[in-house]
Structure formats: structure tokens, C-alpha cells
Structure 1
Amino acid sequence: MGLEPEELQAMSVMDVVREAVAIGHGARQTFALITLALVLPLSIAVLAHSLFTHPILLQVQENDAPASQWLLLLLLYQFAYLLFLFTFSLLCTAAVVFTVASIYAAKPVSFASSLAAVRPIFSRLFRTFLWVALLMLLYNLAYAIAIFPIAILLHGPLFLLLSAAVAFAFLAVHVYISALWHLASVVSVLEPLCGLAAMAKSRDLLRGRGRMAATLVAGYLGACAVIGASFRALVVKGAHEEGSLGVTSVPARVLIGYALVTLQVVVNFIGLLVQSVFYYVCKSHHHQQIDKRALYDHLGGYLGEYVPLRSSVQMENL
């Protein structure tokens, strides 16, 4: 990754994606191991989630047992699923962002060094995630407050129209929060900031690049939604009922499931690379050049390497 600031500033959405793919290909051995160890379990969990929730929901609907027992089981499973999901999401982010930054700083990369850096990075990412979780909680509360009076007072076409408008508006906010979170995660790894400070820095970096961020996040979320819907329709529901494509045989469902998991892995992996490249695009847009030597030392600090005394630990040439 040797792009100059002028090249980064002129990048389009497709240029960012192409650069991300090129980085992945350039260090394919290291990224392949990261993918197998971290991205693959995350992707399987995302898709396999419905394999377990769908039978539980069927049991609740059929009343074969007290609904409270099945609902308790569903809540426990949801808690374990979310814990696994966010843990592996942070682990993947830590490993991929560290590896991409090492390539940018001309630091030797390996699976062992990336894995060793995950532990000290994880705590920083977790602090940032806590603020994002609080923001998402407020977001969901605001959505509930906005949609509740519409559901109570309105009916028919007017209800559908207003509820769709509110949903679209909150979807735009969700895309912005997602972009804020992904960029803040990169900031937490590459700069001496985390938590609320990383969120504030991410907000500043997004200025002037909001449209590109929205396109990248919407594309990622859309791809994940299509893959997830296809998995539920062709693999999960195909095990219980005749689907529109008649996918009921076990070999067919296994083959389709394998293909969709592979596609989810590719989407997640490219998404992680893209968020790293997008950070450098935003920095260049704001004319914040990164001191590669300072970045090299900063990354070495995660591995316990000696970091020489400097007058500033910032990652920028002011």
C-alpha cells in the first residue's frame, strides 16, 4: 500500500474497494490465516443464527411446551449469540486493521504478529464499542418513541406511508452510526484515542466524505441482508417446508449453505479491508498526513517492542 496523499484524495468508491482487494492479495498468506481463524467463525455465526432461532420460534407458535420456557431459551441463546458476535467482530477488526497499517508503515507482517497485537488492541476497541452500544440504545429508543404514536393513532395507507418514511429516516441514521463506528474502530487502533474521543475524531474525519461512507456502508449492509435472506429462505426454511425453489433435500441445502457462508466470508473480509483503506482516504481528504515512522513505532508498542521517546505520539505531521 504505497499510495500518495493525492491518489488517496482522488479515490472513488470503486477505487477504495479495488485497493482493499489489492492489499488482501498482496499479503494473502497472512490474511488467509486471519480469515480462517477469525472471519470464518464470525460469518458462520451470522448465518447460522437463524438455524437455531427458527425451530425455537416454531415451538412457541405450536405450543408444544410452555411458551415461557422456549422464550427463556431464546433469550439465553440471543445473549450468547450477541456476545460471540461482537467479540469476534472486535477481534477481526483488531487483526485486519493492524495488518493493513503494518503494510502501510512497511512493517513486516505475519499471522503471529497480528494475533499477538489483538490482545492489547481489544481493550481499546471495547471501550469504543461501549459508546457505540450506548448510541445504538438511544437510537432504538428514539425509533420506538417515533413509531409508537403512528401505530396507535393511524391505520391503513396513512399508517403505511408515515411508518415507511420514519423507517427510511432512521435507516439513514443507522447507516451514519455504522460508518461512525467502523471509522472510530480504526482510529482506536492507529491513534492514541479510544472511546468517546475516537468517536469524536471519527465524526471529524467523516466530514466531506459522508457520501462515500454512506455508499460503502449501505453496500456492505445490503450485501449482508441479501445473503442472510437467501440463507433463511433456501437453507433454514427449506428444512421445514417446500420453498419457492423446491430446496428440500439435505445435499442441496448443504451445498447452498456452503456457498452462502463462503460469500459471507468474502463480504466480511473485504468490508474489514475497506474500512482500513477508507481511514487513510479520510485523513488525506483533511490533509492530515501520517508519519509512517511514528505509525511504525505505535504498532510496535502493541507487540511490546521498544518505542523511542518522541516529542509527540500523534500519528500526524502537524
Structure 2
Amino acid sequence: MVVKTSGHEWHNYFLFKIITIAIVTIFSVLSTTTIIYTIACIYIGRDVTFNKCMQVVINIWKRLTITLLFIFLIIFTYTRSVSLAFILCNVILDVHKFRLLSILVILLLVLALYMFGFMFYCIVFHLAIAVSILETSYGKNAIFKATYLMTGKKKAALMISFVLYECLVFIVYVMYMHLSMYNDLELALVWRVVIAIVCGVLVVMIFLVIMVTQTVLYLVCKSYHHEAIEVIQFERPQNQPVFQV
């Protein structure tokens, strides 16, 4: 049975998606800015208040949004490029009639390279967000600065990120998907709800740990390159913006 969808329903659907994306973006900018600014203030030994955090959000949200747009474009391009490479590998392997073991090895190699690149870009993007908030660079300049800051700390950053993202994958795909959504163990509804709530809390905690860890990584990279954290960025005269663009 084919269910027809009217134009009005499609209009409501896309309107709902746009509103959802806008709300998620607003809260992402708010939470990200607050966390990074708070950790930086703690690192340099400065007091931080809710009003100061809100003032920072008001002054840098445009710059951070531009950086997030560049990040989205890079992720979109990278994902599409890897997908195309994966399809080409499948076509080539099918034409030349490789053995099944050889096909699996090549596809796993492509997948491993994709995961390595994706994790590397995630670290760079987190650092770029920190640069956009704590420095005057934003957009592509923030991404270039983040790539430079990672020099010398790539192994440590990759190891930390690998552990944190593995915990996130375990919570989402093992605990939530199999135990709550698909109910592989045939649990009662009340236990599925409890597991879903616990997984939600754990995911929020993991995301907070990731944000804090990446901010500390940014500060460590700044110290590694002998770049001082400019205290003046956190001290402003009355009626002056927190950051000068």
C-alpha cells in the first residue's frame, strides 16, 4: 500500500526540520561557548559568572556560526568523497573478480582510513571552535590555526579522542540500540525506558567530557607552541565587546 503525501504535509515537515535545526544550532552555540569560556577562565584563574558567559555568547555567535558552517561544508565534502571512493573500490573489485578475503581487507582498509581521517577532523574542528571563541580568528582561519596547534600533539589528541568516542559508540549502539530500541534481550518496557534514560544521561556526560577535554587540549597546544593565553580577552571595559573582530 502506497501512502501519498500532500504538498501541505511536506511543507509542514520541512518547516519542522528547519525549526528543529535552528533550535539545535542556537543551543549548541550557547552551550559550546559557555563550556569553552568557563574552562578557559578556570585555566587562567579568572572568575566566571553567568552574565559574563552570556555577554561572550552575544559578541561571538556570528563568528562561531561562520566557523560551524565551514566545518559542516568540510564534513559534507569529506563524507561524499569517501563514499565515492568506497563505491569506486566496490566497482573495481567487482570488475576484476578479486577473492572475498582480498575484498574484505581492502574495504576494511578504506573504512579504517575514513575513521582515522574523521577522528582527526573532529579534533581539528573542536580546536577551531575554541579558537573562534577565545581568539580573533574564525572561519577557515580558525581551522588553519587549529591544524597548526595540533602539530606535536597529534598522537595524544587521537588517543584521547579515540577512547572518548569509543565510549560514546558503546553507549549509543550497544546499550541504547540493542537493549532499549531493538530489545534484543526481550526486556520489559519499564527496563527499556530506564535504559534509555540512563543512556541519555551518559551521552550528555560524555559530550561534556569531550568538550572539556578538547578545550584543555587547545590550552595545552597553546602552551606547547609557547603561545600565551591573552588575559585581556577576558577583561573588558564597560560597554566594550569581549572580543574585537
TM-score by length of structure 2 reads 0.83
Offset at residue 157 of structure 1 (A): 2.8
Which of 96, 111, 118 is 1:174 aligned to? 118
1:116-159, CA deviations, whole angstroms, 9 ceiling, x for partnerless residues?
42232221111111111121122112212211122223253332
| Equivalenced residues, count | 234
Query: What pairs with 1:1-318 in structure 2 (closer than 5 Å)?
Result: 65=3, 76=14, 83-155=22-94, 156-229=100-173, 230-238=175-183, 243=184, 245-247=185-187, 249-292=188-231, 294-297=232-235, 300=236, 304-305=239-240
Tell me the distance in 2 between the aligned counterparts of 1:147 and 1:306.
48
TM-score by length of structure 1 reads 0.65
Offset at residue 78 of structure 1 (A): 6.7
Identical columns (%): 24
Offset at residue 277 of structure 1 (A): 0.9
Is the 1:105–1:295 contact (alpha carbons within 8 Å) kept by the matching residues of 2? no
Offset at residue 182 of structure 1 (A): 0.2
Higher relative contact order (CA 8 A, sep 6+): 1
Tell me the distance in 1 between the aligned counterparts of 2:217 and 2:130.
9
Tell me the distance in 1 between the aligned counterparts of 2:21 and 2:117.
22
Tell me the distance in 1 between the aligned counterparts of 2:63 and 2:108.
37
Closer, same or farther in 2 for the Cα pair 1:295/1:208, shift >3 Å? same
1:262-287, CA deviations, whole angstroms, 9 ceiling, x for partnerless residues?
11121111111111111110011111
Q: Which moved more, 1:196-205 or 1:213-222?
A: 213-222
Closer, same or farther in 2 for the Cα pair 1:78/1:162, shift >3 Å? farther
Closer, same or farther in 2 for the Cα pair 1:87/1:143, shift >3 Å? farther
Any idea what SS the aligned residue of 2:182 has? Answer: helix
Offset at residue 107 of structure 1 (A): 3.1
Q: Give the aligned CA root-mean-square deviation in angstroms.
A: 2.8
Offset at residue 205 of structure 1 (A): 0.3
Code of the residue aligned with 2:177 in structure 1: it is R
2:97 maps to which residue?
Answer: none
Tell me the distance in 1 between the aligned counterparts of 2:109 and 2:241.
55
Is the 2:59–2:241 contact (alpha carbons within 8 Å) kept by the matching residues of 1? no
Unpaired runs of 5+ residues, structure 2, are 95-99
Tell me the distance in 2 between the aligned counterparts of 1:140 and 1:165.
16
1:246-305, CA deviations, whole angstroms, 9 ceiling, x for partnerless residues?
22x22111111111111112111111111111111001111112242x2323xx47x844
Tell me the distance in 1 between the aligned counterparts of 2:59 and 2:2.
48
Any idea what SS the aligned residue of 1:154 has? Answer: helix
Code of the residue aligned with 2:212 in structure 1: it is L
Tell me the distance in 2 between the aligned counterparts of 1:80 and 1:290.
37
Offset at residue 170 of structure 1 (A): 1.3
Is the 2:36–2:211 contact (alpha carbons within 8 Å) kept by the matching residues of 1? yes
